[in-house]
Amino acid sequence: MVRSMIVHSIMYYLTTIEGITWRNDDYTAYKIVKAVKGERFNGYFELKIGHKNHRFTYGTVNEFLPILFHAITATKMAAAVPGNFSIVPIPNSTAVVGSNAEFRTLEHAKAIAGHLGQRADVVPALRWIGEKTPGGSRDPQLHFRNLRAVARPAHPIVLYDDVINTGSQMIGSYRRLAVDATPPLAGFVVGRAVKDQKTPTIGWAAEDVPVQEWPIDFDQLFGPGEIAT
């Protein structure tokens, strides 16, 4: 039986421009992801919140992020995860073993937990052994080998990241915690990268992500038989 984990995402965001006419929702999701990642974007995006239209620019993202973490992410976590739990942020590239420095996804996790009361705490349980190159490998097992668990959460674990592309960091983080602590219950991200348009673009989606390492089936590759020793 293949072990998997449900990963919840708030929106799909396009990572390609070739051959696609972007819709307004595509631009909105793209700019929200930029805001969450702390990256600059041009123009603005609009959202209806509390029956009113609100416009956000790069200069006002600090007004938007608390709304995102409170009204969306915290609420969804509270409904999807039973009992008390620990939010473990997937570390940004500079969050290495031996450093106690804050990092972006840790700040997000603390903001989310602040709206969950006593049900959730935040444990920065993962750090990179060596600073990870932004982007970097798509191999989950390489991330697993470059991660270390530096703390053991007291409650069931929920993984958090700002975005997910191939899912390699989410899977590598699951594997490391499964070995050194306990297997996470679920994953949560703001943006899910896609190369084709989805409808709706913004709205909760759940993806069943295989997380275990797949062994090579020697018999399938070469046929059954004995290996000489």
Angle CA 179–170–119, to nearest 5? 80
pLDDT of residue 193: 96
Angle CA 147–36–17, to nearest 5? 100
pLDDT of residue 18: 84
Query: Which tokens in the block code for residue 189?
Result: 């991200």
Which residues are paired to 46 by β-bridges?
A: 55
Q: Which of 41-55, 87-101, 135-149 has the lowest mean pLDDT?
A: 135-149
Q: Can you give the residue range of the structural domain that contains 80? A: 4-11+69-214
Please check whether residue 50 lies inside any domain of the structure: no
Please check whether residue 86 lies inside any domain of the structure: yes
Please check whether residue 61 lies inside any domain of the structure: no
* 35 CB neighbour count, 10 Å cutoff: 23
Residue with the larger pLDDT of the pair 130 and 151: 151
Please check whether residue 225 lies inside any domain of the structure: no
Residue 152: pLDDT above 50?
yes
Is-contact 83 99, C-beta < 8 A?
A: no
Helices first, then strands: H and E counts in the chain = 7, 10
Residue 223: pLDDT above 60?
no
Residue 207: pLDDT above 80?
yes
Phi and psi (nearest 5°) for 187?
A: -125, 150
Is-contact 85 158, C-beta < 8 A?
A: yes
Confidence of residue 216 (pLDDT cuts 50, 70, 90): very low
Sequence-distant (6+) residues with CB within 8 A of 135 are none
Q: What percent of the chain has pLDDT over 70?
A: 90
Please check whether residue 19 lies inside any domain of the structure: no
Rg of the chain over Cα atoms, rounded to whole angstroms, equals 19
pLDDT of residue 137: 76
- 66 upstream amide cis, omega within 30 of 0: no
Q: In whole angstroms, give the CA distance from residue 97 to residue 220.
A: 40
Query: Which tokens in the block code for residue 5?
Result: 């984990």
Please check whether residue 16 lies inside any domain of the structure: no
Confidence of residue 132 (pLDDT cuts 50, 70, 90): confident
Residue with the larger pLDDT of the pair 224 and 158: 158
The CATH number of the domain holding residue 198 is: 3.40.50
Please check whether residue 116 lies inside any domain of the structure: yes
Please check whether residue 179 lies inside any domain of the structure: yes
DSSP classification of residue 91: P
Is the pTM of the predicted complex or chain greater than 0.95?
no
Residue 224: pLDDT above 60?
no
The residue-averaged pLDDT of 41-65 equals: 95
Q: How many domains does the chain have?
A: 1
- 200 upstream amide cis, omega within 30 of 0: yes
Q: Is 4 left (phi over 0), alpha (psi -120 to 50) or beta?
A: beta
Question: At residue 195, what is the residue type?
Answer: K
Q: What percent of the chain has pLDDT over 90?
A: 80
- How far is residue 229 CA from its own chain's centroid? 45
Residue 222: pLDDT above 70?
no
